[in-house]
Every structure is written in C-alpha cells, then in structure tokens.
A and B are shown apart, each in its own frame.
Chain A
C-alpha cells in the first residue's frame, strides 16, 4: 500500500489526474486516525506525508504523557474529558502504553497557581487517584519549596509503537500512504479539490479528490495558503524538550511540579531516556498567525529551521532547586518541535480539538488535536460531516 516517491520522468501532464475520494495531508497520529475513519464513508483514501515515515513530527516530539486529568487544575472540563479518555486510550493502545513507573505530582509553595489542598480537592472532584507519596520519596524534594507530593496514576505512550500501529491500521483499512511527498498547491474545484503533490525525488503529480483533510498541525496555515484560503488564528511556539539520563532512583519515576513556572520529567519510551520539560524554558520564541499578520507561507517548517540553542542548563538549575537529585541529570539530546495551540485555549489550558470545514470550500477540512488522546471526538465529527453532505446531495438530486 505504501507508495515510495516516483522518479521525475513520470510527469502528470501526460495523463489525466488520478481521482480519489479523500486526501489526508499529514501523516501524524491525527492524519492516520482521520484516514482510517474516513474509509467508512469513502473508498479511495490517500495519506500524503512529507517525511519518509509516519508520526515523525509533533506526534513523536512530545512528552508522551497519556493525560489523566491531573494536568488541568484550571480547566475542570478538560480534566474530566481526560479522565474519560484515559481508560479508553489505555485499552485501545495498550501495547503502546508504558505504565511500569511511578508518577508523582508535587505542588510548589511559591508562585504556584494551586495550593496543595486545592489540588487535592480538584483531584477528588474529577475522581483521579491520589495518595500522599511515601516518606522516602517526599524526602527527595526541598521542603522549603515543595508543599506536598502525591503518587498518581499517569502513563506514557511509546510513539514508535504508535507509528507501528498506525502503519498496520492504514494497511488494514486499505488506505494508500504516500511518503516523502509534500502537498503544495491546492485548487478547490466544483466537486472537491485538485492537489499538486511534490515527491522528494522531484516528480510532481496532480490528483483530484472530493475531500481534503488538512491534518498538518503546525503547518495548517501553510496548506490553507496553498489553497488560497485565509489562515486560522494559531499560536506557534518553538519548544525544546530535553532528553536526559536520570540517576538510578528516578529510573522508574516521573515527576511533575504544579502549577506555574515549573517542570515535568517522565520516561520517554522510544529512546529509553526521560523527557524533561520546563514551563518557563521549554517554549522559546512564540508568534501568532492570523489574517492580517504576516505569516509563514513557504515550505512547512522543518526542525532544522527553528532549532536554537539548548536551554537544558536553565531547566536543570531551576528544577534542581525543587528536586536536588536532578543535579545528576545527563543531557543526551533534545526534541525540538513547533507547538501549535488555538489562541482561545491558551489561558485556561483547555486543549479542544479543532475540526473546521473551510467557510468557502466546506470539503477542505482542517483538523488539529491539542493532545494525542483527543481522537475520541473524531468519529462523531467525521460521521456528521459525511452525513450532512449526503443529505445535502440527496436534496440536490430531488
């Protein structure tokens, strides 16, 4: 099913464009999910991915946390939603979920937006398991800076295994995957779109599709610009997450300090290391994309375009004040990614899914999930979309 890029000589000018039902641009976790779901309603589905493998961008460059609500003391709805999704995700992707470590949440004394008692009350309200950490664990922390430490239940996913699963899923659903291919020029027409695909080896092919799903996360507006459509307001942040080797005490341990300019460290299964992020130092430059502001319309930004100097030293100095064991961290590597959030969800930490048919060309649909487990809202949206359309075309037929 997987088509590798074709040599340059097979120019599209010689043949009529290939026609499919659905083109999904972006082979991240969301693109794969959308493609598999779309197969219920469409025969020919193609996923177009710029990289030479699936799930190499944000779906790989992240903290791999399977959210269980703890993270959102300021957005109880998001927290409750996470609580509902957590068991589903663990059941559906059990072989991709790593749970053999202890996850601790701690609340800081100064500059924290929640107090220990507020956090405990919050967890009780959302029904998230919480028990005071053992004394020997609490002793790791500086008591002058940390008010309270709890043991919680939160897991990590292995994004390499997820990628493996997505390969299988797309094969099972007979979705065609076109790797090393960038969707560059999009022309909406009467009954769908024409997409110009640029293969890494230089070949250019135009295909026609009745639907186009734009699942490109940080490149959403690049694709919209390629279709001559105005951008969706988005905030982008250059982010760095350090990959570190931890001292033995922390091998099977994850720690998150709430809720303010603090840090989080937890196992990163695909590399056998820990990922280490810091609310103050992980985001670097940030910018806003929306209509009227100059925004990026060139190639989708690659990691090399925005990678800057590592801030590991800053993260470590700060975090070691709370958890002195972190002085022994060894910096191995960093994951760089553009984090993209909807401006409206910035303040309250809610990470809603964006599902947005274009205003003028409703068959051009942009999809963005703020976190991995947000997929459970997708089936409904996609079903509605195709149902609406069917009703609409039935009306036209009569």
Chain B
C-alpha cells in the first residue's frame, strides 16, 4: 500500500472501499506447503478492495516451517501481522488471540484452507450496515460421516429443547464481526470461544451466510473432538445438566424417604420380617447410580468454576512480527543516480 511498492502491485479495480477498515484473522497450524500462496492471494484481494486492511495470522505452535514461510512475506507485503503463540493452544484460543489483536472496524475470521476468501467483501458488506455480525454455516456438513451428521442433529435438538441453548447450527468457524459485536464478544471473558453460542446471547443483529466449504472444516474434525466440543458448549451455554441432576436428587431423596416410612411401618406392624435381598440391592443400586451422575455433573462444573476463577490466560502470545516493506533496491539506486 505504500507508494514505494506500488510498482509491483497489480492494478486496482476502481472502487476501493476507503471508509471501512477490515481485519482478517487466520489461524495457521502446520500448513507450510501452501501458506505463502494462500496469504498472497488473500492479500491481493484485500488490497484490491480496501484502502485500509490488515491480515492477522496466528501461528498456533506450528512445528513445520509455517512461520518461516509467512515471515518471508513481511518485506514485500504491508499490512501483515503475525502473532505466534507460545505453544499449540488449539483453534479456539488461537482465534481468540487474533480477535484480541485485530484493530479493524470489521474483523473476519477465515480458514485459508476451506473458506472462499473472495467472498470476504460480501461478508464485510453484510456486517457493515449495522453493528452486527455474520456467521458462516454449512448446512450440508461437507465431508462428514453419517454418524457425525446424525450426532450433530441429535445434539442440536437436545441443546435446543432440553438445555434451551439458542445456538446457530452447522457453523463452520467463518465469522465477520463488527467492532461492537467483537467488543461484546471479547467482554465475555470465558475460557471457551464459541461464537455460535455467544453471538445469539449478545443479541446484536446477527445474520447467517450459508456456503459450501472447499473441504472438510477443521473445527469438526473427528467424532471424539465433536463430542468434546458438544459437552463444552452445553456446559458453557447453560446450567441445564446441573438443574436436571438437582431435581433427580430431590426425587431420589423423596423416594428414599417414602421407602424409610415403608420400612418403619413394616417393622411396626409385621411380626416376622425376613425381607428380600432384592429391594435392598435395588435401592442401593439406584442410589449409587444417582450419586455418580451427580458427581459427574458437579465435577464438570467445579472444573469450569476452577478454570474461570483461576483466570489463567486462554492463550499466550509469544511474539509479534509486522510488515517492514523495504525500500526497493532500484528506487534507492535512483536516488544515487540523481547526485551525479
């Protein structure tokens, strides 16, 4: 964008948007092979469309040459920022780190591997009109197994009906956030970053944008991972499991009380009490079952309370690198030539 590099820059389409500052956040993890080409492509699109933009790349503890590859772009591409995390924290914390650092009026989180980056201007335009946000969804759940799809349907139904979690379905991780929405999102200083849950909770104007990713989205990789996230979302989104368990314990206690009365009455009015082993063990079994369920759920929430109250950082930024577009050798020689 500097005049010094204008010569190498492809011609701009006439209508550049100069009023909106756009930040694009992308998380990188072991993508050395094609990251340069993808970042270049992204940079070209943004450069064509916007007067003011930045690309915030978050390196989530890559072990290959990803960081070197993107750092090599710094001298030739302005408006690039690279954050490196101190280790691999996972996608959600890495996105949170990027959102925290981004300075744009609209911040778009993309996955360079699967999201259609040419649609960024469309998303930005959708979000610019208001103070809201746009969430990308993939109703077809590209590339997922039947088990995962059924699991997802069941999960959404349960979450909606039982837990009352108002959630955007089939999200891909692609989001565009206006500054007010981002501000509200960052203020929810919880450990987990789940925009599909928090954005409806925040309640600013919210749109969805359905598309087909070019591959299977990373956020939903693997059944176990999905289950893990499902639990996380339920625990983050509601106190419902705790409530259910509380009611069940009240019920169990009531049954217990009736049973006690029953035992007392029997003892009073029956002379020969040689009662069955069955009832005792049934009752024992039922009670222990209850107990463990209660413990499990409590454990989950206690764990949550602990992490929240410790206020450990969700991510740790180790370094930040910024574009330093160097004065081109030719141009420097020009200056030299003038003196003779």
Residue ranges of A at the interface with B (Cβ–Cβ < 8 Å):
110-111, 144, 238, 261, 280, 283-287, 294, 296-299, 301, 305-306, 308-309, 313-314, 317-318, 321
Range, interface on chain B:
20 to 34
Given that A144-B187, A317-B105, A321-B103 are contacting pairs, would A284 and B336 also be in contact in the complex, using a CB cutoff of 8 Å? Answer: no
List, in ascending order, chain B residues with CB within 8 A of A308's CB: 2-4
Task: Mark out the residues of chain B between 48 and 84 whose CB falls within 8 Å of any chain A CB in the assembled complex.
Answer: 52, 54, 81
Q: Is B104 touching A284 in the complex (CB atoms < 8 A)?
A: no
What residue of chain A has the Cβ atom nearest to residue B319's Cβ?
A: A111
Q: A144-B186, A299-B335 in contact; A317/B326 too (CB < 8 A)?
A: no
The 5 residue pairs across chains A and B that have the minimum distance between CB atoms: A298-B336, A308-B2, A298-B339, A318-B103, A317-B103
Which of these, A285, A294, A296, contacts B324 with CB under 8 Å? A285
B30 within 8 A of A: no
Nearest A-chain residue to B327, judged by Cβ = A285
Q: Which of A238, A283, A317 has the most CB of B within 10 A?
A: A317
Besides the contacts A286-B326, A308-B3, what 13 more A-B pairs have beta carbons closer than 8 Å?
A: A144-B186, A144-B187, A144-B189, A261-B322, A284-B324, A297-B336, A298-B335, A298-B337, A308-B2, A309-B1, A317-B103, A317-B104, A318-B103
Q: Which residues of A contact B335 (CB under 8 A)?
A: 296, 298-299, 301, 305
Shortest Cβ distance from residue B80 to the other chain A in the assembled complex, whole angstroms: 12
How far apart sit A25 and B11, CA to CA, in the bound complex (Å)? 44
Contacts of B225 in A (CB 8 A): none
Contact in complex: B326, A111 (CB < 8 Å): no
CB-defined A-B contacts under 8 Å, sample of 12:
A111-B320, A238-B327, A280-B81, A284-B2, A285-B4, A285-B325, A287-B326, A308-B3, A308-B4, A309-B3, A314-B54, A317-B104
CB nearest to A299 among chain B residues: B339
Question: Which residues 305-340 in B have Cβ within 8 Å of A in the complex?
Answer: 317, 320, 322, 324-327, 329, 332, 335-339
Among B100, B103, B325, B338, the most chain A Cβ lie within 10 Å of the Cβ of B103
In the complex, which residues of chain B have a beta carbon less than 8 angstroms from the beta carbon of A286? 324, 326
Residues of chain B within 8 A of A301, CB atoms compared: 335
Contact call A111/B1, Cβ cutoff below 8 A: no
Instruction: Tell me the B1-53 residues at the A interface (CB within 8 Å).
Output: 1-4, 21, 52
Q: Out of A111, A287, A299, A318, name the residue touching B317 (CB < 8 Å).
A: A111
- CB distance A313 to B327 under 8 Å? no
Chain B residues closer than 8 Å to A110, beta-carbon distance? 100, 317
What's the minimum C-beta distance from A262 to chain B, rounded to whole angstroms? Answer: 12
B197 at the interface (CB under 8 A from A): no
B192 located at the interface, meaning its Cβ lies under 8 Å from any Cβ of chain A in the complex: no
Provide the residues of chain A in CB contact with B336, threshold 8 Å: 296-298
Residues of B within 8 A of A306 (CB): 327
The answer to the question of B101 belonging to the interface, with a C-beta cut-off of 8 Å to chain A, is: yes
Assess whether A314 is in contact with B326, with CB atoms less than 8 Å apart: no
Q: Please give, as numbers and ranges, the residues of chain A lying within 8 Å of B3 by CB-CB distance.
A: 308-309
Q: A297-B336, A314-B54 are in contact. Are A284 and B317 (CB under 8 A)?
A: no
Q: Which residues of A contact B103 (CB under 8 A)?
A: 314, 317-318, 321
- Mostly, the B contact residues are mixed
A318 to B329, CA, bound (A): 31
CB distance from B108 to the nearest CB of A (A): 15
Which residue of A is nearest B101, CB measured? A111
**Interface residues, chain B, with chain A CB atoms under 8 Å away:** 1-4, 21, 52, 54, 81, 100-101, 103-105, 186-187, 189, 317, 320, 322, 324-327, 329, 332, 335-339
- Shortest B56–chain A CB gap in Å is 12
State whether A298 touches B52 (Cβ < 8 A).
Answer: no
- Nearest CB in chain B: distance from A329 CB, A: 14
Known A-B contacts A110-B317, A111-B101; the reply to A285 vs B326 at CB < 8 A is: yes
Complex formed: what's the CA distance from A297 to B337 in Å?
A: 10
CB of A311 to closest CB in B, whole Å:
9
Contact of A317 among B21, B186, B187, B329 (CB under 8 A): B21
A297 to B332, CA, bound (A): 10
A287 neighbours in B (Cβ, 8 Å): 326-327
User: Does B337 lie within 8 Å of A294, measured CB to CB?
Assistant: no
- Cα A160 to Cα B2 with chains together (Å): 30
Q: B308: shortest Cβ distance to chain A, in Å?
A: 16
Cα distance A315–B1 when bound, in Å? 15
Across the interface, which residues of A come within 8 angstroms of B4, CB to CB?
A: 285, 308
Contacts of B337 in A (CB 8 A): 298
Q: How far is the CB of B148 from chain A (nearest CB, A)?
A: 36
Measured in the bound complex, the distance between the Cα atoms of B317 and A110 in whole Å is 9
User: How distant is B315 from chain A, measured CB to nearest CB, in Å?
Assistant: 10
The reply to whether A309 and B186 form a contact with Cβ atoms under 8 Å apart is: no
**Contact present for B52 and A313 (CB under 8 Å):** yes
| B21/A313 in contact, CB under 8 A | yes
- CB-defined contacts of B327 to chain A, threshold 8 Å: 238, 285, 287, 306
B124 CB → nearest A CB, Å: 15
Q: How far is the CB of B336 from chain A (nearest CB, A)?
A: 4
In the assembled complex, the CB of A197 is this many whole angstroms from the nearest CB of chain B, namely 15
Residue of B nearest to A260 (CB): B320
Query: What separation, in Å, do the CA atoms of A238 and B54 have in the docked complex?
Result: 20
B244 to chain A, nearest CB (A): 34
Most chain A CB atoms below 10 A, which of B52, B54, B324, B327: B327
Query: Are A299 and B338 in contact (CB-based, < 8 A)?
Result: yes
In the assembled complex, the Cα of A309 lies from the Cα of B317 at a distance in Å of 29
Give the CA-CA distance A318 to B104 in the complex, in Å.
8
Nearest CB in chain B: distance from A142 CB, A: 9
Closest to B340 in A: A298
Least CB distance from A258 to B in Å reads 16
Expressed in whole angstroms, the Cα–Cα distance for A238 and B100 within the complex equals 28
Q: Which A residues touch B105, using CB under 8 A?
A: 317
State A308–B81 Cα separation when bound (angstroms).
19
Chain B residue contacts of A314, Cβ below 8 A: 21, 52, 54, 103
Q: How far is the CA of A309 from the CA of B337 in the complex (A)?
A: 24
Closest to B75 in A: A285
Chain A residues contacting B54 (CB-CB under 8 Å) are 314
Nearest CB in chain B to that of A313: its residue: B52
Q: How far is the CB of A145 from the nearest CB of chain B, in Å?
A: 9
By a CB distance below 8 angstroms, the chain B residues around A309 are 1-3
A42: min CB distance to chain B, Å: 31
* A298 to B337 alpha-carbon distance, docked (Å): 7
A10 to B265, alpha carbons, bound, how many Å? 131
B337 (CB) vs chain A CBs: closest residue:
A298
